Amino acid sequence: MSTVTEIEAAIAKLSSLQKWEIARWLGESLLEEETPEMLAALDQGIRSLSTEPKIAVEDVRRKIKGWTTK
């Protein structure tokens, strides 16, 4: 198979379980290896949970609704 269209057509013929297995494999294969920079960013994000102001989920939903209806 040499094109995305051919791959999509072949996947369409698979069972649900086979599609799930391909989706899992593809997701795993696309994940980048952890880098020191990525781990540092995650640590910083975790630390900010205890030091930064929090926004209520209701406020976030309201803002998103406003952004998407403009």
Domain boundaries, the chain: 4-68
pTM of the model: 0.42
pLDDT tens by residue, 5-48: 899 999 999 999 999 999 988 888 877 777 888 889 989 988 88
CA distances from 56 to 22, 24, 53, 60, 63 (A): 37, 33, 10, 7, 11
The DSSP annotation for 8-69 comes to HHHHHTS-HHHHHHHHHHHHHHHSPPP-HHHHHHHHHHHHHHHHSPP--HHHHHHHHHHHHT
